[in-house]
Structure 1
Amino acid sequence: MVNRKSPRRFGFDYSSARIYFVTINCHEGHNLFGKILNDGSSNQLILSGIGIIATEKIDELSSHHSGVEVLDYVVMPNHVHLLISLQNQEKSSTLSTIVGSYKSGVSRVARKTFPDLDLWQKSFSDHVIRDDKDLLIHSEYIKANVERWRKDKYFIEG
């Protein structure tokens, strides 16, 4: 059995009241959530059925997890970026719990149509937002992501 190194910061309390920038990738980088088309002047995101499910489940996160607010997000063809504010007074939910329930919810609905679908890469990437400037940088990154698609490190033609 392979010991995987956790991408979480050792000793950090991921249930603490913070804002987190989260990236969740599709399995093997597949463009499962849609595609981005260029009309000659700008890029336009066209979500697939699974991409629509991924968006709907983001919109439901706050109602499923007390003290959780999604400040901003973008569903890209093969990954999702979220800015999640966690105001977890009882510390009942960690960032991993929230992301895990999101991934499970999307998978559960998607597998009704595609029962053998491997949807997600294992785990997720996170960045703890340090201050207002850091929040602005990550919020602007999310807003520009569709336009920057061909330069994105997750870009895969298809």
Structure 2
Amino acid sequence: MGHKTTKQYRLQNRWYDEESYYFLTICTKNRINYFGKIEAKDSDFVLIETPIAVKIAEFIKNIPKLYPNAQLIEWCVMPNHLHLIILLGIENSKNTFSIPILKLPKKFKAAPSQSISVIIGQLKKALTVWCQTENYEFGWQARFHDHVIRNEKSLHFIQEYIKNNPKTWGEDIFNKINEEEYLKRYGS
């Protein structure tokens, strides 16, 4: 019987606490629309938020307060996933968000290591604990997708993708309507 091999999800020889821009996608378990649904409103498309979506947005906005080396560049909550661009490794000398510090679950504290994995792990854990406390059914996909943004052109392209994500929800591979395409690309 041979050893079970696991797929490598991170770049080899790369520490995910290095100064860089990171594009992150975090999905809910089985791509269930725990965060709400996209609807046309006025001349735009918006997420009609559930209480779970409101809470994850609060936790996301607090990342720079809990992790001084992390700056939120762009982010959005979709029905069954989140997109974030985080600039890691540069101390926040001035916070660009004027959001009061929220009361977070005791377990949601900055760990000594301020890597992407630690930040996302704490974010996922905080929402899971909150949902359990509030008796909401909820679950995360085990892993998250990351991409190291290597140049300004790529950064701007990804920022536009995130901003326009609600408009393109009908064609999004994370939309349950497109589950067959998702399975072709990513497996189960």
- The two structures have a TM-score, normalised by structure 1, of 0.90
Between Structure 1 and Structure 2, how many residues are aligned? 155
Task: Check if 1:29 corresponds to 2:50.
Answer: no
Q: Distance in 2 between matches of 1:2 and 1:39?
A: 49
Structure 1 match to 2:16: 14
Identity %: 32
Inter-partner Cα distance in structure 2 for 1:34 and 1:16? 34
Larger RCO (CA under 8 A, 6+ residues apart)? 1
Structure-2 residue corresponding to 1:121: 141
Name which one, 1 or 2, has greater alpha-carbon Rg: 2
Does 2:128 align with 1:107?
Answer: yes
SS at match of 1:35: strand
1:143 equivalent to 2:133? Answer no
Q: Which amino acid aligns with 2:120?
A: V
Query: Structure 2: where are the runs of 5+ without partners?
Result: 92-111, 178-188
| In 1: Cα distance, 2:138 partner to 2:153 partner | 37
Counterpart secondary structure, 1:37? strand
Q: In structure 1, what is the equivalent of residue 51 of structure 2?
A: 49
Match in the other structure for 2:6: 4
Q: Among residues 90, 110, 115, which one is paired with 1:94 in the alignment? A: 115
- TM-score when scaled to structure 2? 0.76
* CA offset digits 1:25-48 (Å, max 9, x no partner): 000000000111125843221110
Amino acid corresponding to residue 119 of structure 1 in structure 2: G
Alpha-carbon RMSD across the aligned residues, in angstroms, is: 2.0
Distance in 2 (alpha carbons) for counterparts of 1:101 and 1:139: 24
Counterpart-to-counterpart distance in 2, 1:46 and 1:97: 29
